[in-house]
Amino acid sequence: MPARNILVIHARKTSLRFALVNEAHSQFILHGMADGLGSRDAELRWQRGGDKDSLMIPNADHRAALSQLLPIVQGAAGGKLHGVGHHVLHGGELFTSACRVDTQVLRRLQALVPLAPQQMPASLVGIDAAMHLLPNLPHVAVFDTAFHQTMPEHVYRLALPDAVYRDHGLRRYAFHGNSHRYASRRAAELAGLSLGDSCWLSAHLGEHCSTCAIVNGQSRDASMNLVMARRSGDIDPHLYTQLHRSLGWSLEKIDQVLRQESGLLGLSELASDMRSLEQARDQGHAGATLAIEVFCYRLARTLAAVGCALPQLDGLIFTGEIGENSPLVRSRTVDHLKLLNLAIDREANARCVRGVAGPIHKRGHPRVLVVPTNEERQIALDTLALLA
């Protein structure tokens, strides 16, 4: 059977990220993004091999952007497209693995919108657009939460009155499951271990961040309670009351500050991206220095916490944009994990940037690996598994 091609789509409110994945090749045939959807500045950008191109698509919505994209995709695929894999943020407790999309699945996805009201509508719009334009292809939903559905009840339950879970289904969920799955599989390959007989701590670090404890290929605990680009991370619940009483902030205002004005941006009062903060730190900016130190310490603390779920530690994985490209963050984080006997080799750490994978630990110490993530490939693999 010839190697098959899968179009992977990640729809957001005003953007559509895509990649054309061939099962036989590690590199994307084509990838890019439609950005600024719904505005006069909407633009479609793509890269095929070393060639980059773009097209202005003023006021285009997701369907219009996809209609402009599909001839480019079909050309790159040689007219042989075998399926579409959709990144879907939240599967709730209904979806524990990827599934073929049909009318019943769409109804269930619609019912999950309240769990992620900012993200799920865009996922549904993307699925609708793709199914309308590619009605004869199989469509598969791959959930960011599904990997974590193996967490035991004592891990995912909130310490709230039982009725909160029983009647309303409120519990802990975790995300970046596709990234943690892919990274742990690659880490096992790099270490010469079996994924089904190894235990990993994984840190996905980007605009949004998470940690995960992985035992024999399954998520056992995970946390989103990290300082992020604009998010505060974990806080004392009493802070909501204090901000309301002391500052007169409404619930909406508090939510806005904690989600959009805190984290790296709030601490530094400068920027939300790690690259800019590292440059400012090198120039002596106190706020940037503090933001990075808080980020790394909270990350280390959370890794140590979710590590309680591991019977042993075969290695620590850094992945995601920051995890793959910031030797500083990796080094400062590991500095706080001496209890686990972790230690970084400075030269190896400096070498693993811009897509370079490999070990960065000192000899004689537990493994620390940099693994570039590839969520699109993981989504494509899950899609292919349902086409067999």
pLDDT in tens, 93-148: 999 999 999 999 999 999 999 999 999 999 999 999 999 999 999 999 999 999 99
Q: Is 376 annotated as a binding residue?
A: no
Asked if residue 97 is part of any domain, the answer here is: yes
CA–CA separation, 21 and 30 (whole Å): 8
CA-based torsion, 290, 201, 28, 122: positive or negative: negative
Q: Is 224 annotated as a binding residue?
A: no
DSSP 213-253: EEETTEEEEEE--S--SS---S--THHHHHHHHHH---HHH
Asked if residue 179 is part of any domain, the answer here is: no
Q: State mean pLDDT over 367-378.
A: 98
Asked if residue 84 is part of any domain, the answer here is: yes
Q: Which of 169, 203, 221 finishes a domain? A: 169
Where residue 378 falls among pLDDT bands split at 50, 70, 90?
Answer: very high
Where residue 165 falls among pLDDT bands split at 50, 70, 90?
Answer: very high
Report the DSSP pairing between strands 30-35 and 209-215.
unpaired
Q: Which of 169, 202, 234 finishes a domain? A: 169
Instruction: Kindly state whether residues 159 and 244 are assigned to the same domain.
Output: no
Q: State mean pLDDT over 203-225.
A: 98
Instruction: Kindly state whether residues 165 and 208 are assigned to the same domain.
Output: no
Inter-residue contact 140 to 98 (CB < 8 Å): yes
Instruction: Kindly state whether residues 125 and 246 are assigned to the same domain.
Output: no
Instruction: Kindly state whether residues 156 and 295 are assigned to the same domain.
Output: no
Residues 215-265: pLDDT tens digits? Answer: 999 999 999 999 999 999 999 999 999 999 999 999 999 999 999 999 999
DSSP 154-211: HHH--SS-HHHHHHH--------HHHHHHHHHHHHHHHT--GGG-EEEEEEESSSEEE
Inter-residue contact 259 to 207 (CB < 8 Å): no
Q: Is the pLDDT of residue 339 over 80?
A: yes
Asked if residue 382 is part of any domain, the answer here is: no
Structure tokens at 147: 């990997």
Instruction: Kindly state whether residues 165 and 284 are assigned to the same domain.
Output: no
Instruction: Kindly state whether residues 145 and 273 are assigned to the same domain.
Output: no
Q: Which of 128, 154, 169 finishes a domain? A: 169
Q: Is the pLDDT of residue 388 over 90?
A: no
Instruction: Kindly state whether residues 279 and 353 are assigned to the same domain.
Output: yes
Asked if residue 229 is part of any domain, the answer here is: yes
Instruction: Kindly state whether residues 127 and 254 are assigned to the same domain.
Output: no
Q: State mean pLDDT over 361-368.
A: 98
pLDDT of amino acid 151: 99
Inter-residue contact 146 to 97 (CB < 8 Å): yes
pTM above 0.95, yes or no: yes
Q: Is 273 annotated as a binding residue?
A: yes
pLDDT of amino acid 1: 77
Asked if residue 381 is part of any domain, the answer here is: no
Q: Is 167 annotated as a binding residue?
A: no
Instruction: Kindly state whether residues 279 and 143 are assigned to the same domain.
Output: no
CA–CA separation, 240 and 254 (whole Å): 7
pLDDT of amino acid 84: 99
Q: What is the DSSP letter of 361?
A: B
Q: What is the count of structural domains for the chain? A: 2
Q: Which residues contact 226 (CB under 8 A, 6 or more apart)?
A: 209, 210, 211, 233, 295, 298, 299, 302
- Tell me the average pLDDT of the chain: 98
Asked if residue 182 is part of any domain, the answer here is: no
Residues with a catalytic annotation lie at 144
Question: 251-260 and 238-247 are packed helices; what angle lies between their axes, rounded to 10 degrees?
Answer: 120
Residues 281-315: pLDDT tens digits? Answer: 999 999 999 999 999 999 999 999 999 999 999 99
Helices (H) and strands (E) in the chain, counts: 15, 14
Q: What is the DSSP letter of 97?
A: S
Asked if residue 231 is part of any domain, the answer here is: yes
Instruction: Give one word for 48, left, alpha or beta, with left for phi > 0 and alpha for psi -120 to 50.
Output: beta
- 205: nearest Cα among 176, 174, 235: 176
Instruction: Kindly state whether residues 102 and 251 are assigned to the same domain.
Output: no
Domain of 236, in residue numbers: 193-375
pLDDT of amino acid 2: 87
Instruction: Kindly state whether residues 263 and 326 are assigned to the same domain.
Output: yes
Q: What is the CATH number of the domain that holds 146?
A: 3.30.420.40
Instruction: Kindly state whether residues 77 and 22 are assigned to the same domain.
Output: yes
